[in-house]
Structure 1
Amino acid sequence: MPRPLALALLLLAGPAFATPTDDDAARRPNVLLILTDDQGWGDIHSHGNEKLDTPNLDRLADEGARFERFFVSPVCAPTRAAMLTGRYSLRCGVHGVTRGHEAMRPGEVTIAELLQDAGYRTGCFGKWHNGAHARTNPYGQGFDEFAGFTAGHWNNYFDPLLPYPPKHAATRVEPAAPDGPQRSEGYIADIFTDAALRFIGDRSTDASEAAPWFCYVPYNTPHWPPQVSEELFAKYVDRGFDTETAAAYAMVENIDRNVGRLTAALEQWGMAEDTIVLFLTDNGPNGKRYNGHMLGRKGSAHEGGVRVPLFVRYPRIVAPEVVVRQNAAHIDLLPTLCELCGVEPPQDRVLDGRSLLPILNGDVPGDPPWEDRQLFTFKDWRGTPNGERGAVRTDRWRCVREGKRWELFDMHADPGQTTDVSDQFPKVRDDLAEAFAAKWAEVTADGFDPVPTLLTSEIGATLPAHEAELRPAIGEGIRYVGPNGWANDWILGWEDADAFAEWPIEIEGGDHRYDVEILFAATSEQVGSTFAVEVGSMGEVRGTVERAFDPPLYPSPDRFTRPEAYEKPWATLNLGTVLLREGTETLRLKAIKKPGETMPEVKAVRLRPVSVGSPH
């Protein structure tokens, strides 16, 4: 393996690694968990994609266990929540990818929290997408360090503005940029790899020297926007691919190079034998490209939407060139890592997964034997779930409902799902549909109340527009840049002065005062518009836009026009100071005066704590 140039820089971040000793054999293993975004099962050379180059991923698969049938959720945030907790995401309150539907309940227990409590150093570097605020962001879910972003995707990949910029030394302090994102130099996946390598290589304290580490690297590529180096993009254009596929494959090869940097560092520093390396992706591909001839892609409950790669390398336990053919899923990773790391899994809640240790070396019978089971896919992720779409997977059957009725496919005889065999096996279909309904009722017992954003005397918050619920509804006098309010969208087209946006908040530790600001953009016709922020019955603060601020979008080197929102600067309008009383409330942004056809565009509402009030 070539030694990456970045290793020279990493040695500057802390002392060099000590030579492993016999005592190291008794240490708990390190864990490197790599997750990519929108990379499908077919986006791997060794999965039959001969025109895609992924030598480092192919090598990783060959050096350990390659899972043939590993399943996740149809979209990003539910996969992450299930993987981190060992529970179906609906148990965690996660049922979507935006509008706060992606936030895990603060009481969930993640693998990071379990390992942290066991003495591990924990770091997350990349896309989080399971909550953006105190209690739900990585610091609230078990990570000592974090660099990256918390939303579902990011706007620009070259020299990105990141809300949590990388640190050049270990820290135990939450380093969110207080006044908004800060510029980081380089390509985004390379930046996250640099941060992960610095974390892995940290020898700055005695505790760092002794402690094992858990490093979670959730890359945000090959999710759009389609931005990647000219070198890699041109390579796949020259191979005859269309622009969209060439961009995706170029980003996948960049990921492969970064995986190579991580595994090379482990070898360079004598850590490969003692590190569990896992690689998987979060859903099917985000485009119509090779996916092993499976039906479906990202967002689908069919096989192609949820079957993804999983490679596990751990030389002390897992033999090389193992192929695991039993069904497994994202919910299995927490119990598997608990067993491998000697950590007790949570005993106070239902875990849906089970340890994969009995099958990590292939078809060797487990003790007890590995039994077939039902794996569930829950698909309702655009609004409040209703249980009308999803799937049940067993070793032989896939029972799917994406439309008005359940379909049944024999995955042994028909892996491409070309023929619905419900008429031949009606009892199988009905039994699986009934099992889905029962599981749905079980995992949704706690409902879907949104997780309120925490505010204290020391913790403020920026409430982004894409986390708001628009009332009366999107498109009825108020809307987002995009049709659904994806991450990084903002409010525009606010034509109805009676419409409003609202966010749930929770004030803790007494009554506190906050400065209230709006991030906005306004044309000259919108000057004079007046906004109000109202919190329950506590009164409101108002502010009037007194100047135009209508900047162009930041340049974006997209290979084609992206489906997501672009990025631009925002002005700040101060509305004054409000006293918020302890408890849970709803914050509303309202239009008080609308001189033009529409209100100004709104990116976010920001609250900054200024003093502590008297507790009740």
Structure 2
Amino acid sequence: MIAIAAIASQVHAADGPNIILVFADDISARELPLYGSSTWSPPSGGDTADVAFRAKTPALDQMAEEGCWVETAWASVVCSPSRAMMMTGRYAHLHKWWNNKDKGRYLDAKGKAVTWPLYESSPRLIGHVAQQAGYATYWAGKTQMAGDLGKFGFDQGCFTPGNLSDTDNPYTDFKMYEKKIDGGKLLFNSDTNQPIDSYLQHGWYWKPHVRLMNHPGKNKGLQWWPNTPESEASFGLNTYGPDVELEFIFDFMDRQDAAKRPFFVYHTSHLGHDAFDWLNPQSESKWPGTPVVQWDGNGYTRITPNVTGDQGVYNDHDTVTEPGIHNHVNYLDYQIWKYRNKLQHMGIADNTVLIFCADNGTSGYGKSSSDRQKGTHVPLIIVAPGMTKQGRQDVLVNMSDMLPTIAELTGATIPNDYEINGESLVPFLFTDKPKHRDWIYGYNGADQIIRGDKVLKDGKGKWWDVSADPDDLISFPQIQDWNQVSDAHRAERDELLAVLPRFDLHETKHDAPGVELPTIPAKQKTNNNIKAPPKKPKQNPAKVEATDGIHGLKKALAAPPKPNVLSVFTEDQKRSPTRIVGQGGNGKLLFSDDFDGRSELGERYHTSKAIAESFTIVDGVLTCKQTQEDHGAHMHPMVAFKDGDIQFDVRFKGGTQFNVVIDDKNDKTVHAGHICRVSITPKKMILGDDKTGAMNLEVRELRQRTDLVADQVKALEELLQKTRQVGNVEIQKGKWYHVRVVIIDDVMETYLDGEPIARLQSPGIGHATKTNVGLTINGSTIEFDNLQVRSPKMSPLR
């Protein structure tokens, strides 16, 4: 420890080393040639081995050779939880940011339930740590943080806003707005005032949204940029957001160097993130082009952009690259070259630590995926004066390690009673210590992902042998028989299993400590105006009796005629020959439609006149889009059955969710006759028993009540959880998939492309008669084909 302290003291010397942390967006390790993968991402997303779409990174390669690069570095699987891990040095069991749309809540000063800001859950953020050590701190790029940006420990900032509430920028029309049309809500391009099929976002690349924080001058706090007559005159189509970020960072570095003060730069670049292409509104590629940069063997030349046009019609005069994540990585390489040149020019390269990493896997490949390490495996390259490690390092590193590393480099102290999950890299980087840590961890909602040197358990519960790296960095052998692996593999498995319960708090401690709030169902809009349940509401006796009816209902459902079994498929169930999947359409055909030879749904379907406009048939494919704000687009083929085998092909083209709803229109005990359903998003299949769950009239009435006390709210949540099950899927936009929903007796099973996803056994599913199957579409375009309903012959497992 004395040797480590001595080396660390050399590194941060009198004023401490300057530190620059570049945190790129949605870039898997495989996108950098350095990592040697046999596949990477093409402009449309997915996999390719075409070298035309492989990045070229001479500056990062040189940085990795002079410093070091880590073979296995993990973040979380998607933006918000990864950034929470980075900024807090903690995992979600503490900061409660489980997923982009699944964050823990707390009650603010007004009693509203809102997202728990990281500075509240973790008051020692990465910016605070540097400030404590006397550093000037700067945050540039993407924010995506709840709360006050001035409370994260950064003195100044240059943001390409991540908050969609920042819509008042007067300098750019590269933004979007929503508009009600004929009762529906559509998304429009502000530049063209034409509807678009995309997600609501700002333009953070060309003609970007830029907001400064505490920039030197009269205006403190947040202000839009351009903020001077000179910058207003130069701002326009040729302004590129990543360039603006770097210009303000370099200005900050110059000012701190002149003041003889060490600095910490946290650069959260958007580069790597897919986006709408305002210069090419019709483009279906995921990553808009960047300014052209050229490497001559010694350095880069940047071609000055020359973009002309307006209102969606532009000419870039060959000064903008073709789309693709490879060009985003190339531009990051150019910026790393700029950083290193700047440090040399300033004369501080020998006292500056430079770190390059990313927040999660590439969109269309690993982002949001809990499969193996697709979502978690990111690049990590470090160069620092005095390092003993050079080149490739076959060790395990987690993004939570950055905060304690920076604390040790700067000389900041973290109290012993303040829990940090990361481990400082200083002992590994600056001594002959051969190993950094024994395991690394990631998360995605309730999914936990963990690996050591030999085995990996992914979020789907599968185990993999990771003792050797496959050519594509992901095709590890699956471990299905533990007798076929070594004792060391089994021992490491047991060690990892002992770690997980400590962090497995998604279901039991989802929100801030001491806060008990109803769970927000997955993929539904968060209500930020939920009030804390009153401790003892004033009620008359009759009202108390009605409210207490929840307990009677809960008791009845706790002991149904048949046991309520909630489970995803076990491995034995998947292998069993009694599963329905794989048996083909072996039952009687009750209904079929391939949508050929016509342009409208026709009389075989029931839907309202207004909603019928949501459905069109083109070239034998049913195209659906929500057109009414208050209800999804829905249509129902009229087909009666008790047990059913429902199959169809589906392709997401911009829509966010659809439901397969099974009804009995004659049943008046449930809302709209809903018996059961499967809600499908690109990431989830959610199975639900509507008859005894959410759509039961008594339950529905209780769900709408605002006067339930805390115990009653908890009982209602428990009841609803008994009648639903969630299975994880990975559905890519623009790709066709085959979905199968099988109902026999009180069991419902779902499959995707023949693979079992989830099963739910619940009494309402066994309702004796179903009168129709419905498809309800939420959001933008989803396409369907080859719809069939059959009467199955085989029973699912019990």
In structure 2, distance between residues paired with 1:93 and 1:336:
22
Equivalent residue for 1:277?
Answer: 354
In structure 1, distance between residues paired with 2:202 and 2:128:
26
1:287 aligns to 2:290 (yes or no): no
Distance apart, 1:299 and its partner CA? 2.8
The 5 Å alignment of 1:463-502 reads 468=527, 477=630
CA pair 227-253 structure 1, distance change in 2 beyond 3 A: same
One-letter amino acid of the counterpart of residue 630, structure 2: G
Distance apart, 1:42 and its partner CA? 1.7
In structure 1, distance between residues paired with 2:367 and 2:135:
36
Query: What is the DSSP-based 3-state SS (H/G/I as helix, E as strand, rest coil) of the residue aligned with 1:303?
Result: coil
1:105 aligns to 2:141 (yes or no): no
Does the 8 A contact of 2:91 with 2:503 survive in 1?
no
Superposed CA deviations along residues 556-598 of structure 1, whole A, max 9, x for unmatched, are xxxxxx99xxxxxxxxxxxxxxxxxxxxxxxxxxxxxxxxxxx
Equivalent residue for 1:542?
Answer: none
Query: What is the DSSP-based 3-state SS (H/G/I as helix, E as strand, rest coil) of the residue aligned with 1:335?
Result: helix
Superposed CA deviations along residues 426-454 of structure 1, whole A, max 9, x for unmatched, are 966973674364123468875325999xx
Does the 8 A contact of 1:63 with 1:319 survive in 2?
no
Which of the residues 270, 292, 302 maps onto 2:372? 302
Distance apart, 1:219 and its partner CA? 0.2
In structure 2, distance between residues paired with 1:210 and 1:467:
47
In structure 2, distance between residues paired with 1:38 and 1:303:
14
RMSD of aligned residue pairs (Cα, Å): 4.3
Does the 8 A contact of 1:36 with 1:218 survive in 2?
yes
1:410 aligns to 2:465 (yes or no): yes
Which of the residues 479, 498, 503 maps onto 1:421? 479
In structure 1, distance between residues paired with 2:451 and 2:102:
29
Name the TM-score, length of structure 1 as normaliser. Answer: 0.59
1:373 aligns to 2:373 (yes or no): no
Equivalent residue for 1:141?
Answer: 152
CA pair 86-171 structure 1, distance change in 2 beyond 3 A: farther
The 5 Å alignment of 1:300-379 reads 300-315=370-385, 317-319=386-388, 321-360=390-429, 364-365=432-433, 370=435, 372-379=437-444
In structure 1, distance between residues paired with 2:407 and 2:444:
28
Does the 8 A contact of 1:166 with 1:195 survive in 2?
no
Does the 8 A contact of 2:99 with 2:444 survive in 1?
no
In structure 1, distance between residues paired with 2:61 and 2:459:
34
Which of the residues 503, 512, 529 maps onto 1:440? 503
1:125 aligns to 2:140 (yes or no): yes
Does the 8 A contact of 2:31 with 2:326 survive in 1?
yes
One-letter amino acid of the counterpart of residue 105, structure 1: L
Distance apart, 1:24 and its partner CA? 9.5
Equivalent residue for 1:227?
Answer: 288
Does the 8 A contact of 1:66 with 1:311 survive in 2?
yes
Does the 8 A contact of 1:64 with 1:322 survive in 2?
yes
Superposed CA deviations along residues 508-546 of structure 1, whole A, max 9, x for unmatched, are xxxxxxxxxxxxxxxxxxxxxxxxxxxx99xxxxxxxxx
The 5 Å alignment of 1:204-243 reads 209-225=259-275, 226-229=287-290, 231=292
Does the 8 A contact of 1:156 with 1:227 survive in 2?
no
One-letter amino acid of the counterpart of residue 244, structure 2: I
One-letter amino acid of the counterpart of residue 328, structure 2: M
List alignment gaps of at least 5 residues for structure 1: 1-21, 236-242, 289-295, 381-386, 453-464, 486-535, 538-561, 564-616
CA pair 58-468 structure 1, distance change in 2 beyond 3 A: farther
One-letter amino acid of the counterpart of residue 215, structure 1: V
Which of the residues 138, 163, 175 maps onto 2:222? 175
Which of the residues 151, 156, 160 maps onto 2:208? 160
Superposed CA deviations along residues 95-135 of structure 1, whole A, max 9, x for unmatched, are 2224766764333111210211221111100012232x32x
Superposed CA deviations along residues 170-207 of structure 1, whole A, max 9, x for unmatched, are 789322449x9x98651111111111111111159xxx
The 5 Å alignment of 1:179-190 reads 185=236, 186-190=239-243
Which of the residues 424, 431, 445 maps onto 2:494? 431
The 5 Å alignment of 1:495-574 reads none
Which of the residues 261, 267, 273 maps onto 2:338? 261
In structure 2, distance between residues paired with 1:39 and 1:23:
30
Query: What is the DSSP-based 3-state SS (H/G/I as helix, E as strand, rest coil) of the residue aligned with 1:95?
Result: strand
Does the 8 A contact of 2:98 with 2:506 survive in 1?
no
Distance apart, 1:361 and its partner CA? 5.3
Distance apart, 1:413 and its partner CA? 4.2
Distance apart, 1:80 and its partner CA? 1.3
Does the 8 A contact of 1:41 with 1:308 survive in 2?
yes
Distance apart, 1:376 and its partner CA? 2.1
Distance apart, 1:142 and its partner CA? 0.3
Query: What is the DSSP-based 3-state SS (H/G/I as helix, E as strand, rest coil) of the residue aligned with 1:284?
Result: coil
Distance apart, 1:158 and its partner CA? 0.7
One-letter amino acid of the counterpart of residue 47, structure 1: Y
1:399 aligns to 2:443 (yes or no): no
Equivalent residue for 2:327?
Answer: 250
Superposed CA deviations along residues 118-167 of structure 1, whole A, max 9, x for unmatched, are 21111100012232x32xx2x111001111124496434211123x2478
In structure 2, distance between residues paired with 1:84 and 1:114:
10
CA pair 99-393 structure 1, distance change in 2 beyond 3 A: closer
In structure 2, distance between residues paired with 1:266 and 1:44:
23
Question: What fraction of aligned residue pairs are identical, expressed as a percent?
Answer: 22
Does the 8 A contact of 1:116 with 1:122 survive in 2?
yes
Superposed CA deviations along residues 8-39 of structure 1, whole A, max 9, x for unmatched, are xxxxxxxxxxxxxx999522111101010011
Figure out how many residues of one structure are paired with residues of the other and give that number. 415
CA pair 325-257 structure 1, distance change in 2 beyond 3 A: same
One-letter amino acid of the counterpart of residue 477, structure 1: D
Superposed CA deviations along residues 486-520 of structure 1, whole A, max 9, x for unmatched, are xxxxxxxxxxxxxxxxxxxxxxxxxxxxxxxxxxx
In structure 2, distance between residues paired with 1:23 and 1:67:
20
CA pair 399-67 structure 1, distance change in 2 beyond 3 A: same
Distance apart, 1:306 and its partner CA? 0.9
Distance apart, 1:286 and its partner CA? 1.5
Query: What is the DSSP-based 3-state SS (H/G/I as helix, E as strand, rest coil) of the residue aligned with 1:305?
Result: coil
One-letter amino acid of the counterpart of residue 158, structure 1: W
CA pair 446-272 structure 1, distance change in 2 beyond 3 A: farther
In structure 2, distance between residues paired with 1:411 and 1:281:
22
1:26 aligns to 2:37 (yes or no): no
CA pair 26-305 structure 1, distance change in 2 beyond 3 A: same
In structure 2, distance between residues paired with 1:129 and 1:228:
23
Does the 8 A contact of 1:99 with 1:469 survive in 2?
no
1:45 aligns to 2:95 (yes or no): no
Does the 8 A contact of 1:392 with 1:432 survive in 2?
no
Query: What is the DSSP-based 3-state SS (H/G/I as helix, E as strand, rest coil) of the residue aligned with 1:325?
Result: strand
CA pair 321-371 structure 1, distance change in 2 beyond 3 A: closer
Query: What is the DSSP-based 3-state SS (H/G/I as helix, E as strand, rest coil) of the residue aligned with 1:220?
Result: coil
CA pair 34-275 structure 1, distance change in 2 beyond 3 A: same
